[in-house]
Structure 1
Amino acid sequence: MHEQPPPRPEAEADRRIVTALFADLCGYTTLGEKIDPEVLQALQNEIFEELSAAVAAEGGYVDKFVGDALLALFGAPVAHERDPERALLAALDMRARMARIAERWQARLGQPLELHIGVNTGPVVAGAVGAGGSKSYSVTGDTVNTAQRLQAMAGTGEILVGALTRRLTQHAFTFATLGTMPLRGKAGETPVFRLEASLDAPPPARGLSSFGIDIAMIGRDGQLAALLRCLDSVRAGAAQLVRVAGDAGIGKTRLVETFLDRVRAEQPDITIRQTACSSLGEPSYGTLAAALRRAYRIDPAASLEHTRPLLAAGLAGLGLSGEEIGRLEPLFLLVLGFGDPDDALRHLEPDQLRRQIFHAMRTLFERRMEQAPLLVVIEDLHWADSVSIDALRFIMDRIESRRLMLLVTHRPGFETEMLNSARASQTTLRLDPLAIEEAKTLLEQALGGDVLPHALRDRIVERAEGNPFFIEEILRTLIETGVLQREPAGWEVKTAADETGTPLGIQAMMLARIDRLPADARRLAQVAAVIGHSFDLALLKALPCGVHDIKASLHQLGDADIVEELADIPSQAAPRYAFRQKLLQEVFYDNLLLRRRTELHGAIGAVLERRYGPSPEHMNQLIELGYHFAASPEKEKGVRHLTAAGDLARMANANADALRLYARALSAAEAAGGDAWREPGERYADLCHPTGHSEEARHLYDELLAEARDKGEVTTMARLTRKLGQLAFDTGDRERTTACFAEAAGLLEGVDAPIELAHLMQRQGHLAFRAGDYKRAMLWADRALECANHLSSHPGPAEKAEIALAIARAFNTKGVALARLGQTRDAVQIVERSVEIALAANHLNTACRGYTNLGALYTTIDPARAIDVCRRGYDMARQIGDLGHQARLLTNLAVAYCTFTDRCLSEGLPAIEEALAIDRALGLRDHLPVPLLVLGQIRQCHGAAAAARGHYLEALDIVRDSAEAQLLFPCYDGLATLCLDLNELSEAERYFELAQQVCAKHGLDPDALIVLPFLD
């Protein structure tokens, strides 16, 4: 059988993306009935020898032979870049080899020999499979099963592939779409594609050109200028060795291609010879061979008969005589991998042969430079064979002409000193990650503008860490999963992005690096990846790493540019390290078995628990403990720590952080089962509504209420019913609000729950105020204050905060009721007291409500303060992510700008348009009429009567059912004055009468509603 490299002896079970290839001989059973077993065995061995050679040629691994079938893996036990492409090339090669075998055996068998092949890509668990001493390396998972099912479905000579394989290789191959089909033993139907052929000149796998996206080089202008200066020096007779170094995906190829495009366009007399080393590693002279093939257009699979004339023609083009060609050709055929077919080199010792090959290559370079300056480009030199590198050094040391520029690219850690030559100037260009703004520019250029929501854009920039390839691969994933779609007007975001996974292109690149690491270094990096992006040495030493020498392994990881030691660590602290790329840490983490991850998370949590003590109070400590325990068997601990961290974030009014922490706690609690989800669930719901996720809040409250009913928890039922009532109010359902508050009041009858009763009373007061019953609103507010003030004289911290919240809200309701009853100065004092209490207790949402009302109240007694207080409140609402109060404060800010300044159009109009957009986006029908009315007034004042009428009528349509005086009156009044402006006198009179009826019904002064149009 064809020899293949054995699995890494230290290869432990892990998770990885693999491309599985199943190949099976058609009609094997019938064939076995017709020929002798010895003949059949000879045929079988020849077939397996050829198929194994095809697999090995593309860096694959033969997992097993089953009867007449072969299973090959690409991506395990060692990953390479482009494994799915390699698998399809191997499949095509197998088919071609089988055709040649069939020709040789046709006379003996009397029937054709053909394969049917299935190829599929996906996740597997790889490692030792079997029992006792018979264990062997293999893979397990549905990916392999699907490949076998595709093979079984394939017709004679067909190669069928799965959807992911096709998606990852469609730039390099052509396929026929067969539609979705049922596969034996699998539920549902599976998309199936038939491989037709490989493309003659496939575009690079990297980049987004297959989506019609071409991105110019960004952030490398300085390096491009340096390359052009080096080429100018070559023209002046100074040979140049230029190294371009940088991480995978950092932009080395893009820089080289941009440089070569400039050279071809501006300096066409320059001869360019370009090649790239294979990630499989090059055989001896492999890099030189690749350059020869590229220069003389020799296909890698070309036969000797086809190669000889192409090589001879190329050498003749350099002006070599027939005698010289005859002397050099055997050397170059050896370099090209044909050995010594004419026995011309049999008398040479190995050292003599090596020297002659080096001199032959030098001759090529010298003859080419006699014709024109020569630019030789070798990419990915870190994969080059050492003999080719020695040959390049030999040439650089001995060239007579200096019109040579050798440009090489490589990754960090590759030793390039072996290329140093005294006869050439040397330049090293190191490519750093793109700056944040450059990364944002790349995204905008790719998508044709600022298309992405800024939160998503910033997350992409953060994850990619300035690596252009990472940015492109993340974009590719967003496009292929339907998050981004191209419409006639350009790219649009269609759905929320799931950013939990690492794009497959990045996984493949990084897993190839990971698989080249020594066993202990790889094992240590996996443990460190479970800790997080950064980690300290003391913690590593306390964990079951299974590593003999941790410090030595850390040095190996540093040399491989996997991790780096952090410099800004206090001298007394343990050394601290970090992964050089966050996505690299993610790939290490994903590579671990789930069982091993869970064990390590538990072990890390236990060590940190001892380090931080039984009652950690620092948020970072709580988050660390919560993260690890939530992913361990002790999930309840994770829930507790994450909820406590969320509480701290909420106290600091970092509501976005609190939401994220509560969500993680909720997820861990659901995985743990039981009642652990209820506490983080309610807190998460409490923050959902003000941050614009009302439906999610309602769903959670409903679930929590059902749970409380089952357990007979009356106070909890009342609290959740009250919160559901408030949600209904904010979305304009007053009837539902009234019913919820009544139900909550009934639940609290005879129950000792004074805090909840105080909250309910002040909410009922607020409802009465919005219904126009201001005296009843004051009554409810006073009752709430009385209830809150008679609570425990020694409340705990949580109870004290709840008391302050009830009092602040009640004072606010009482203040705005007083304002509607004409007692404006008293109202201002009481609302200011509400804000003072809310700020002292850190209830910033309630403080924002007070600022909203003060912004309106100050317009009557201290106009200069109106804009200031609205700005202060708006900044606070933005700080805590409270979108509802942002809309309210922007509305009042617009009113102040348009009433007291000359900045109505420049600042008032943008403010009211943003407020309107927020209310529409969140479905806040409770407040939506207010910005509509203000915008209508602005349009009316500036002569846009039709637009003003539209805004007034839309507002009226929303508020007509609620019959809320402070909203109905300005609708009617606005329409009346607009009709007057348009000389529609009968309509104007009708609307004035309706406005007067609203005031009469509620006992209000029309002037008061004009001066104070909206209070809350």
Structure 2
Amino acid sequence: MQPPSSVAICQTCHFEQNAHYNYCGHCGLSVWQQCTRCKQSLPPEFKFCGFCGEGLHPHHQPHPLPQTQVKAAAKTAAITPPVDAPQTVVAHSAVARVSERRQVAVLFCDICGFTALSESLDPEEVSNIIQPLFQQCNAIIGKYEGVVEKFIGDAIMALFGVPFAHEDDPERAALAALEMRELIQNFGKELEKEHGRSINMRMGLHLGTVVAGSVEALEGRNYQVMGDVINTAARMEQNAKPGHILVTEEMFRLLQESFELQTDALIQAKGKAKPLQAYELLGVRRLQQARRGLAEQSEVWVGRQEELANLIQLVETRLQVQSGTLIQLRGESGIGKTRLAQELYLRLKESQPDLRRIQACSTSYSTNFPYFMLQGLIRSLLAEEENSSHFELHSHLSDFLESLKLPNAEMVMSLLESLLFPHLEFPQLKLIPPERLQKQIFRAVADVLNRLSRQGPLFIQIDDLQWCDPLSLMWLIEFQENLPHQPFQGVICLTQRAEEPRAGQAAISAHPIQTHCDLDLSPLPISECQALFCKILDLAPNSPLPDELQALGQAILNRAAGKPYYIEEVLKNLLEDQILQKQAGKWNLTCSLRDLPLPNSIQRLIMARFDRLEAHQRQLLQTVSAMGAPVSQNLLEILFNDSSQEADLLSLHQAGLLRHEIGAYGPEYSFFQALTQEVIYNTMVKRRRRVLHKRIGETIERLSSADPYPMLDLLAYHYSRSEETLKAIKYLYLSAARASRLFANTQALEAYSHILEILAPLERNSLIAIDLQSKEWRRPAQLEHEILQKKAEILFRTGAYDRLMDLVEKHLSPELPLLEQARLMYWQGRGLEKRSEFAKARESFDAALKLVENQTDPREQARFWNACGWVNRWLGEYETALQACQTALKLLETQPDMEQIAYAHNVMGVVHYYRHEWEASLEHYRQGLEIQEQIQDLWGHANSLSNMGNVYFMTNRWQEAFGVFRESLKIREQLSDLEGISTSCNNLGHACLELGKLDPAEKYLSRAHALFEQLKQTVGAAVAQCNLGLVAMRRQQWQAALALLEPGILALEKQNMQVLLPELYNYRSEIYLELGDFKAAENLEATQDPVIEQHGDPVQKGRKARLKGLYCLFTGQPEAAQAPFKEALALLQPTGHQGECRALYENLISLHQTLGLSEVSYWQQALKDLLAAEKSLHPHLH
């Protein structure tokens, strides 16, 4: 059996093909449907069986009919004649189209008095009366290029915007309604004269998005749409009085400048949460003559001369002093941001021949692809295609880095390769924690750009910043913050839409990009718009427009609103369609200005061009829009199973819709403008999008079966937008895991959250594979619990403690398995610990341990016990802390976890350190160090050395302390571990400070402070700043010391770092004493003393007592000074702290001299012996 129609549309994927095929050439499924009663095969568009009359889709209705129309249809079905559409409408409707999302204006018209007329006259007579009326209404609708969707009894529903978009569909609908009203009212008067009965009408108009599908014009059917917009238009019609036209708020906003309207009643529509404001359409105010639109990129340059000149001057001035320049261009779509950036580069190139351009951009889909923009930047830097193999890039990158002569080139190369090929493993990077790997990648890219700029200035252009992925954005923010301190020569030019920032832009809000020029592009003035108009049409720029172009020019320029992109595209459309022609040296417009197809918005212009394409070209564009990235022609041909796509692709390129480039694997295509891609993608119904994403995912999966890891993000992107739930979960899981390893925490969290959304409706007994080999499976509940733990870990390591606590509060429930409750309590405790709420943190850990005691893996219990040990250390309950860590070590005897064993020893080392049990502390640090060496943990090795150095320092083993501090710094510098380098520099600076070596101390501490600031580590920066204050204090620069100490102390107080405050409080008090501001020193006691007593060690408590004695001495109370000095002596001498003992001996000498006591000589000899001991212990420092 051959179907009667020549075109068949697959009901699964909506692919259009010749009707003689039985299976879809796009998805492989049958294009026919089967009657459930007689089992005959039928075309997909049949609603009733052609053999037995059985209803095929009783539940498929395009939209519910308003109740009044249902009644009217029942009464008049037999007497309402079919109405033939005008030829123009038939021609439009005959083009078979897949279902699409469209913005349409809907007109509902209901004839009042029709039922009474039908009851009083013969049906044939009624038909003869009404038929001409409906034909004239149809003609009016066709006149304005609308489509009659259907006649239902005495009702008409017409659509404007399908199957082809127009620039002014709302206006066309309004004009048609007004003309139909006049027609029906005149008709009613004539009818009353002849039959004594009259008719009138009421109408409703609404604008909104519908799903519009193809029709069978050869069988007399019209275009069909589905959507709530239909019901809303019907509600307007039902509430209109006879002879009146009501429009919605959406229509009112678009019509108010061209039509007379007045506010009408609020309408409480069924199913609507809020009442609808109605407006009555009264008549025409003035006619809309033009539309707005979006143009493709143009090489024509007009205007913005002042902005360009200022930018050039800024850049050239800064280049002369070898400084980098950061420029940001913002503005609406089509305002000319990218074009200005290109022109800036070309002009600079004239004076800077060695200027090198590097380009990168983001896309709407790339927000969740880690390092997408940064990868593009590096590939542009290397002039590499996106599909370059690792082997090809490795060779090129090696040569490139060799030419730069970078130190640590081998490490930089591994870092850049891991950036470009994150699915590969690099032995040098395997043990680097994710957060440190991220920082080293950031630094590697910055080092390469800085070094390259020495060879010649760079012009780095980054487009569509609003879609930048968070990791690349973090790099950009960090790079610009360090711009004043690094040897970068060149320009960074950013372009960004002025619209509201997208998701991933939170980083910009938290850390705004500081530019040397932040330029918000305003619309071009009318004179420059006219100059552009003239230049495109090759007219004299400063002369008046020819008479034949005056009206056209005015219409276009008024609508352009100063957007050059719009002017270019409108003229391009007119020339392409030969509506504007040049004949015998004179321009000729082939239609009236009223009928001029000038789109009135960028989106409508894109749709107008899109609608003019052939069906297969539209489908091709939609496919490219779903793929997002530059798409190879080979991949498209595989997707379509058709090797003849080249001609269509080239045609779309020539039409200015697609960019054509030659990639590593042949021709590649992408959209010139991201907005074009957005608009075309949004034309597809969601069902079709899901099917398309599934096919793209399957194709990529098949082509990358040998090595799918490079495609994980793409596979996750496409399957998560399809109906392939299980594959979506698998690839999202793998993509999130990789993002987590890259420290791309935002992407990982979004992927994990997406998985949780997908899991919610799944059957609880489903099985889900989470690896490529399908060896690991999870039940939904298991996966939910696992993902919650992963999200908690990410939130903890990124310092998002408030979000961590919210996560725990949301999901912690007695209904969870005990182990899952315990794990969430563990993260709750870690979050409380970071808030310095140590007692509450311990309660959480204790509760977690009670839940899992004897019920879980010993390694899990050990983790909880170690956490208890650490928090008890902060609470000063050192014995409890030691017992907790010892319990953890005992649990790990049977099932070792080397990381937790090392962690336990480190905690115990810290506890013994704060108890001044130096040898015990060193022993635990040594054991941790041995484990770190076994597992080749260089970072842990460096940390343990640093901890050991602190012990050596406190026990006056200066030579050993400086040795391990320097060794730790050396390892950290080799690893480019900025955080570790800053810590080592702070340690060395503090050591030099204690020994009175102020110049080296200042050098180390300044470096530490700069690095901490760069890393945005508030606590580290505050400590380094305070230590610099101590350097000034040792130089007796008291005011400078106070200016450094005060903000550092304030920062630490805000972070609730009370364990660090006792020492700094004492130093601040000492400064006030030296300044003679005894009142300030006295006032501080009330707030400082409790903190020192609770959190200070014996050294700080002894120092507090010493300063109390010094206060008494300075204020003329020497007798009162004896008691606090005695207390200080009892506290300080057992500690062996030489610096404090030296200061105390000096204070005691002053006291006894003041009191005239004989013990002066005793303390003078004690001081002499102490200084001699210091010199013998570390002669190399004296």
Question: Same fold by TM-score, threshold 0.5 exceeded?
Answer: yes
Structure 1 window deviating more from structure 2 (143-152 vs 109-118): it is: 109-118
**Does residue 20 in structure 1 map to residue 124 in structure 2?**
no
Letter in 1 for 2:656: D
Letter in 1 for 2:824: L
In structure 2, which of residues 594, 611, 621 is the aligned counterpart of residue 515 of structure 1?
Answer: 611
Taking the TM superposition and a 5 Å limit, the aligned residue runs for 1:920-931 are none
**Does residue 887 in structure 1 map to residue 1018 in structure 2?**
yes
CA contact 1:929–1:955 (8 Å) conserved in 2: no
CA contact 1:274–1:294 (8 Å) conserved in 2: no
CA contact 2:1062–2:1091 (8 Å) conserved in 1: no
In structure 1, which of residues 756, 762, 775 is the aligned counterpart of residue 860 of structure 2?
Answer: 756
CA drift of 1:919 comes to 10
In structure 2, which of residues 991, 994, 1011 is the aligned counterpart of residue 861 of structure 1?
Answer: 991
SS in 1 for 2:88: coil
**Does residue 7 in structure 1 map to residue 93 in structure 2?**
yes
Number of residue pairs aligned between Structure 1 and Structure 2: 739
Q: In the superposition, relative to structure 1, how do residues 901 and 511 fare at CA in structure 2: closer, same or farther (>3 Å)?
A: farther
**Deviation digits for residues 396-444 of structure 1 (CA, Å, limit 9, x no counterpart):** 79xxxxxxxxxxxx99xx9xxxxxxxxxxxxxxxxxxxxxxxxxxxxxx
CA drift of 1:83 comes to 3.1
**Could you tell me which residue of structure 2 aligns to residue 588 of structure 1?**
680
Structure 1 window deviating more from structure 2 (845-854 vs 57-66): it is: 845-854
Rounded to whole Å, the distance in 2 between the matches of 1:79 and 1:931 is 73
CA drift of 1:514 comes to 1.8
CA drift of 1:608 comes to 2.3
**Deviation digits for residues 780-810 of structure 1 (CA, Å, limit 9, x no counterpart):** 445546655x4657xxxxxx7xx43x35654
Q: In the superposition, relative to structure 1, how do residues 961 and 181 fare at CA in structure 2: closer, same or farther (>3 Å)?
A: farther
**Could you tell me which residue of structure 1 aligns to residue 915 of structure 2?**
821
SS in 2 for 1:575: strand
CA drift of 1:721 comes to 1.8
Identity of aligned residues (%): 23
**Could you tell me which residue of structure 2 aligns to residue 257 of structure 1?**
526
**Could you tell me which residue of structure 2 aligns to residue 725 of structure 1?**
829
Letter in 1 for 2:732: L
SS in 2 for 1:380: helix
**Could you tell me which residue of structure 2 aligns to residue 653 of structure 1?**
743
Rounded to whole Å, the distance in 2 between the matches of 1:868 and 1:665 is 44
Rounded to whole Å, the distance in 1 between the matches of 2:1138 and 2:259 is 76
Relative to the length of structure 2, the TM-score reads 0.51
**Could you tell me which residue of structure 2 aligns to residue 332 of structure 1?**
none
CA contact 1:158–1:195 (8 Å) conserved in 2: yes
Rounded to whole Å, the distance in 1 between the matches of 2:1067 and 2:133 is 82
CA contact 1:182–1:189 (8 Å) conserved in 2: yes
**Does residue 625 in structure 1 map to residue 709 in structure 2?**
no
Q: In the superposition, relative to structure 1, how do residues 694 and 40 fare at CA in structure 2: closer, same or farther (>3 Å)?
A: farther
Structure 1 gaps of 5+ residues are 208-216, 227-245, 276-286, 298-375, 398-409, 415-468, 470-503, 794-799, 879-885, 1012-1016
In structure 2, which of residues 628, 632, 635 is the aligned counterpart of residue 536 of structure 1?
Answer: 632
Q: In the superposition, relative to structure 1, how do residues 607 and 291 fare at CA in structure 2: closer, same or farther (>3 Å)?
A: closer
**Could you tell me which residue of structure 2 aligns to residue 72 of structure 1?**
158
SS in 2 for 1:566: strand
Letter in 2 for 1:524: L
Rounded to whole Å, the distance in 2 between the matches of 1:225 and 1:43 is 69
Q: In the superposition, relative to structure 1, how do residues 255 and 63 fare at CA in structure 2: closer, same or farther (>3 Å)?
A: same
- RMSD value, Cα: 6.1
Rounded to whole Å, the distance in 1 between the matches of 2:925 and 2:675 is 51
Letter in 1 for 2:805: R
Taking the TM superposition and a 5 Å limit, the aligned residue runs for 1:506-905 are 506-543=602-639, 545=640, 549-567=644-662, 569-570=663-664, 573-613=665-705, 616=708, 618=709, 620-670=710-760, 672=762, 674-675=780-781, 676-691=783-798, 693-702=800-809, 705-706=812-813, 710=815, 712=817, 714-731=818-835, 733-751=837-855, 753-781=857-885, 783-784=887-888, 790=893, 792=895, 803-804=898-899, 806-807=900-901, 809-810=903-904, 813-822=907-916, 840=937, 860-862=990-992, 864=1001, 865-869=1004-1008, 871-872=1010-1011, 875=1014, 886-900=1017-1031
Q: In the superposition, relative to structure 1, how do residues 644 and 378 fare at CA in structure 2: closer, same or farther (>3 Å)?
A: closer
**Could you tell me which residue of structure 2 aligns to residue 221 of structure 1?**
304
Rounded to whole Å, the distance in 1 between the matches of 2:615 and 2:1139 is 80
CA drift of 1:140 comes to 0.8
**Does residue 87 in structure 1 map to residue 179 in structure 2?**
no
CA contact 1:670–1:677 (8 Å) conserved in 2: no
**Could you tell me which residue of structure 1 aligns to residue 242 of structure 2?**
156
Rounded to whole Å, the distance in 2 between the matches of 1:914 and 1:53 is 80
Q: In the superposition, relative to structure 1, how do residues 659 and 385 fare at CA in structure 2: closer, same or farther (>3 Å)?
A: closer
Q: In the superposition, relative to structure 1, how do residues 261 and 1008 fare at CA in structure 2: closer, same or farther (>3 Å)?
A: farther
CA contact 1:678–1:704 (8 Å) conserved in 2: no
SS in 1 for 2:156: strand
Q: In the superposition, relative to structure 1, how do residues 646 and 928 fare at CA in structure 2: closer, same or farther (>3 Å)?
A: farther
**Does residue 144 in structure 1 map to residue 230 in structure 2?**
yes
CA contact 1:602–1:633 (8 Å) conserved in 2: yes
**Could you tell me which residue of structure 2 aligns to residue 181 of structure 1?**
267
Rounded to whole Å, the distance in 2 between the matches of 1:684 and 1:554 is 43
In structure 1, which of residues 368, 388, 395 is the aligned counterpart of residue 586 of structure 2?
Answer: 395
Letter in 1 for 2:739: A
CA drift of 1:724 comes to 1.6
CA contact 1:852–1:870 (8 Å) conserved in 2: yes
SS in 2 for 1:757: helix
Letter in 2 for 1:541: E
**Does residue 63 in structure 1 map to residue 122 in structure 2?**
no
SS in 1 for 2:230: helix
Letter in 2 for 1:621: M
Q: In the superposition, relative to structure 1, how do residues 844 and 564 fare at CA in structure 2: closer, same or farther (>3 Å)?
A: farther
CA contact 1:762–1:784 (8 Å) conserved in 2: yes
Rounded to whole Å, the distance in 1 between the matches of 2:614 and 2:1042 is 65
Rounded to whole Å, the distance in 1 between the matches of 2:551 and 2:302 is 31
Q: In the superposition, relative to structure 1, how do residues 87 and 748 fare at CA in structure 2: closer, same or farther (>3 Å)?
A: same
Structure 2 gaps of 5+ residues are 1-84, 294-299, 310-331, 340-521, 534-540, 559-566, 589-595, 764-779, 944-976, 994-1000, 1143-1182
Taking the TM superposition and a 5 Å limit, the aligned residue runs for 1:201-240 are 220-222=303-305
**Deviation digits for residues 641-666 of structure 1 (CA, Å, limit 9, x no counterpart):** 22222222222223233333333443
SS in 2 for 1:147: helix
Letter in 2 for 1:380: L
CA contact 1:655–1:687 (8 Å) conserved in 2: yes
SS in 2 for 1:721: helix
Q: In the superposition, relative to structure 1, how do residues 607 and 391 fare at CA in structure 2: closer, same or farther (>3 Å)?
A: closer
**Deviation digits for residues 124-147 of structure 1 (CA, Å, limit 9, x no counterpart):** 211147999676421011111111
Q: In the superposition, relative to structure 1, how do residues 926 and 87 fare at CA in structure 2: closer, same or farther (>3 Å)?
A: farther
CA drift of 1:624 comes to 1.6
Letter in 2 for 1:221: R
CA contact 1:636–1:669 (8 Å) conserved in 2: no
Structure 1 window deviating more from structure 2 (384-393 vs 682-691): it is: 384-393
CA contact 1:729–1:926 (8 Å) conserved in 2: no
Rounded to whole Å, the distance in 2 between the matches of 1:729 and 1:711 is 24
Rounded to whole Å, the distance in 2 between the matches of 1:41 and 1:162 is 33
Letter in 2 for 1:161: V
Q: In the superposition, relative to structure 1, how do residues 124 and 739 fare at CA in structure 2: closer, same or farther (>3 Å)?
A: same
Rounded to whole Å, the distance in 2 between the matches of 1:111 and 1:289 is 51
Rounded to whole Å, the distance in 1 between the matches of 2:940 and 2:180 is 71
Taking the TM superposition and a 5 Å limit, the aligned residue runs for 1:394-413 are 394-395=585-586
Letter in 1 for 2:832: A
**Deviation digits for residues 99-158 of structure 1 (CA, Å, limit 9, x no counterpart):** 665676675577876542222222221114799967642101111111111211123344
Q: In the superposition, relative to structure 1, how do residues 514 and 291 fare at CA in structure 2: closer, same or farther (>3 Å)?
A: closer
**Deviation digits for residues 312-354 of structure 1 (CA, Å, limit 9, x no counterpart):** xxxxxxxxxxxxxxxxxxxxxxxxxxxxxxxxxxxxxxxxxxx
